[in-house]
Amino acid sequence: MQRFDPIESMARAHHEFGEHGGVNMSVEASTTFTVLKAETMPEIFHGQRGPEQGCYLYGRHFNPTVYVLGRQLAALEGTEAAYATASGMSAIAAAALQLVRHGDHVVVSDAIYGGTFALFHDYLPVRTGLSVSFVDMTDHAAVEAAITPKTRFVYVETFSNPTLKVADIPTLADIAHRHGAKLLVDNTFCPLVVSPAQLGADVVLHSLTKFVSGASDVIAGAVCASREFIMSLMDVTQGGLMLLGPTMDPFVAAKLSLRLPHLGLRMVEHGRRAKFFAEKLHARGEPVIYPGLASHPQHHVLERLANPGFGAGGVFALDLRTKARADRFMELLQNQDRFGLIAVSLGYFETLLSCSASSTSSELPVADQERAGISPGLVRVSIGYTGNVEQRWEQFAAALDGLGDAGDASP
């Protein structure tokens, strides 16, 4: 069988021209849509007609511009359909809620983004009675052992945030499917690098806020899945997206649609630079975590799963042991060298530096941080592609040298 090629898949996807023959699609700025015949309206309400037949009802249901972005994202992941949402969290929350009933159980990776952790650890159990087992997704026997007859899905990030463990998606899909559960994969860290739906994932989730946007200018998300699942999310009485309403603004959709054609170029350059830094750090004996390094525990898994030519992602993590050392290091780089920015998020063209334990993983209690391998001094680096990479490395190395034993005593 021919291997899935996401670039080719996107190139072959439907191209929407602008209303006046513009090379880019027009932005549909309407929240409500007319029908020629009144009887068409109830047919759209009941799902008998929809965007596939050119029928639109109301912007929280489907908007033509957002719908086109959805088709492009489906092509990116090779799924039947996709729906673009107002944020990554809304995509994750709606997809999760769609699959569970009161009293159900799910198995969730113990190494995930702090907001997703809080959703599964704190919010959903209290609000819905969902029970959740947090498991190390690289321990496949533990994943299987955690599944019960009530388990509806297994949830994992392709590259865990911030520890960059690589999920063996085919194995996890096989385990989930053998027990009648689905596999949900958050592919935010590595669009194009890995295509989870081609490897057995049932639902692929994205925070488009990150690499897909690439400019840290919009908050956005996506659910990529079967047509049946996407339509279920839009059901007027049972649809998690239709009823919770995290709708993407059509102007945001138009913007993101213009970023997709160069996502591949950006991922390659992010990956090239991240690998360059990771190799230099490894050669210096620094505790660097990067899936593209042969020393990474799941490097061979990534080699088996990755689409050729896109590298191993634009994020690496460096364990500076203590928060004081991490803070000093980031301040040196930002304030002295103008190397990057102390800011959460990733996928920006500038380098973003954050200390995960005290920022995007601070929702995890300390014991859970320790279990996930997040030390108080773990610095997550989303490497940008501005400036000269050799000069950037010299700045980075000088900041490490300048650290000395700063703050070594404090945790």
* Residues within the interface to ligand PLP (CB under 6 A): 87-89, 113, 115-116, 157, 161, 186, 188-189, 207, 209, 219, 221, 360
Two tokens at 222?
A: 């996506």
| Residue among 186, 202, 249, 327 flagged as catalytic | 186
- For residues 163 and 317, give the distance between their C-alpha atoms in angstroms, rounded to a whole number: 7
The least CB distance from residue 350 to ligand PLP, in Å, is 16
The least CB distance from residue 58 to ligand PLP, in Å, is 24
| Residue among 56, 67, 83, 113 flagged as catalytic | 113
Nearer to ligand PLP (CB atom), residue 322 or residue 360: 360
- For residues 131 and 122, give the distance between their C-alpha atoms in angstroms, rounded to a whole number: 10
Two tokens at 346?
A: 């990733």
Tell me if residue 266 is catalytic.
no
| Residue among 210, 273, 323, 392 flagged as catalytic | 210
| Residue among 5, 58, 60, 235 flagged as catalytic | 60
The least CB distance from residue 87 to ligand PLP, in Å, is 3
Distances (CA, A) of 404 to 194, 283, 337, 340, 407: 38, 18, 17, 20, 9
Nearer to ligand PLP (CB atom), residue 188 or residue 307: 188
Two tokens at 73?
A: 């994202």
Nearest to ligand PLP by Cβ — which residue?
88
Nearer to ligand PLP (CB atom), residue 161 or residue 257: 161
Contact residues for 370 (Cβ-Cβ < 8 A; gap 6+) = none
- For residues 267 and 225, give the distance between their C-alpha atoms in angstroms, rounded to a whole number: 23
The least CB distance from residue 360 to ligand PLP, in Å, is 6
Strands of the sheet containing 341-342, edge to edge, are 288-289, 315-319, 378-382, 352-355, 341-342
- For residues 374 and 401, give the distance between their C-alpha atoms in angstroms, rounded to a whole number: 23
Nearer to ligand PLP (CB atom), residue 360 or residue 369: 360
- For residues 270 and 382, give the distance between their C-alpha atoms in angstroms, rounded to a whole number: 8
User: What letter does residue 202 receive in the DSSP assignment?
Assistant: S
Nearer to ligand PLP (CB atom), residue 67 or residue 189: 189
The least CB distance from residue 213 to ligand PLP, in Å, is 9
Q: Per-residue b/e over 51-90, b at no fewer than 16 CB within 10 Å?
A: beeebbbbbebbbbbbbbbbbbbbbbbbbebbbbbbbbbb
Nearer to ligand PLP (CB atom), residue 221 or residue 407: 221
The least CB distance from residue 187 to ligand PLP, in Å, is 9
Tell me if residue 380 is catalytic.
no
Tell me if residue 60 is catalytic.
yes
The residues assigned a catalytic role are 60, 113, 186, 210
